[in-house]
Structure 1
Amino acid sequence: MDDGLELLTGPPELEEYLRLRAASGLSPKRPDQGDAVLTGSWSFCHVRDVASGEAVAMGRTIGDGGWYFHLADIATDPRFQRRGLGRRVVGWLLDDIVARAPHDAYVTLLADAPGRRLYESLGFVPSAPASVGMVWRPEI
């Protein structure tokens, strides 16, 4: 990892989580949604710029602790992209799953176009045609 950057276990602050999502092109979320994410994830890590103190990359695992784990919120501030931070974050999340989850864990993620090469280079493969990611958005 670059000098001046450190990977920390745990989530960034709420404001940093919301900023990193929006800055990296992920859909913006409300503070109440972010609060639930920061307390309800199975694991979380983030990268901090030591000089400025700001969070510049992050990722988390959603999981039941038994067999199913989903990587989410893999985000890097555009000013810090192309430095291997996404690879470092995903690598840490996968290492954490290997260390703490059962040996036959099932790990998924939704790969947006900008991250596909990274995920493929780390061993992820498309799940189709066996299964296809789907979404349901209730009108509440």
Structure 2
Amino acid sequence: MKNKYEVSYAAPRPEQYNELRLDGGLSGKSIEAAEIGLENSQFVVCLYDHESLIGMGRVIGDGATFFQVVDIVVKPTHQGQGLAKVIMTEITNYLDAHTYPGSYVSLIADGRASDLYEQYGFQFTAPRSQGMYRKY
């Protein structure tokens, strides 16, 4: 794949973040929540095509015992080019350098995204445990 994108480790603007999430089929967030959430990320990787945010992923958590991979999204017009793998490789490199023995890294795999995440060592928790959530 030819690199026609730029990698950035700075959080996008909340408006860019929301636009990308919505374009990628994820839920929107309030601008205030997006601003606070992005500021409190452990790690952010963004892919840009010129000035346009086309993909991203984040790691959130306490920075030692628990980490969660979130916001893995690529703009539909750029899917199928291996960009999600670029994002996951960057996140995996970050986790390899910043986790400790016993650190727990989790994520929620939507649909067939589990096929991607399994390539990076993620396993299903079931039947040992079940993911749960509460949404406001």
TM-score of the superposed pair, with normalisation by structure 2: 0.93
Count of aligned pairs between the two proteins: 136
Contact 2:13 2:35 (C-alpha < 8 Å) held by counterparts: no
Deviation digits for residues 81-126 of structure 1 (CA, Å, limit 9, x no counterpart)? 0111111111111110111222432111000004121111222110
Partner of 1:79: 77
Counterparts of 2:114 and 2:73 in 1: how far apart (Å)? 13
Instruction: Indicate conservation of the 8 Å contact 1:75/1:86, yes or no.
Output: yes
2:47 aligned counterpart, secondary structure: strand
More off after superposition, 20-29 vs 93-102: 93-102
Alpha carbon RMSD of aligned pairs, Å? 1.4
- Aligned residue in 2 for 1:37: 37
Give the aligned residue type for 2:9: T
Q: How does 1:122-133 map to 2 (within 5 A)?
A: 122-133=120-131
Q: Structure 1: how far apart are the matches of 2:113 and 2:46?
A: 17
1:89 and 2:90 are equivalent in the alignment: no
1:2 aligns with 2
Specify the alignment match of 1:49 in structure 2: 49
Checking the alignment, whether the CA contact within 8 Å between 2:64 and 2:98 is kept in structure 1 is: no
- The TM-score, its normalising length taken from structure 1, stands at 0.90
Q: Which structure 1 segments of 5+ residues have no match?
A: none
Other structure's SS at 2:55 match: strand
Q: Is the 8 A contact 2:20 2:54 kept in 1?
A: yes
User: Does the 8 Å CA contact 1:2/1:83 hold for their aligned counterparts?
Assistant: no
**Structure 1 residue 42: Cα displacement:** 0.8
Q: Aligned partners of 1:104, 1:10: CA distance in 2, in Å?
A: 28
Q: Provide the residue aligned with 1:67 in structure 2.
A: 65
CA distance in 1, matches of 2:102, 2:2: 33
Identity %: 32
What letter corresponds to residue 9 of structure 1 in structure 2?
Y
Structure 2 portions without partners, runs of 5+: none
For 1:109 and 1:2, how far apart are their aligned partners in 2? 29
- Do the aligned partners of 1:48 and 1:57 also contact (CA within 8 Å) in 2? yes
Separation (CA, whole Å) in 2 of partners of 1:111 and 1:137:
17
Q: Secondary structure at the match of 2:58?
A: strand
Alpha-carbon separation, structure 1, partners of 2:2 and 2:98: 27
Matches of 1:47 and 1:103 in 2, distance apart? Answer: 30
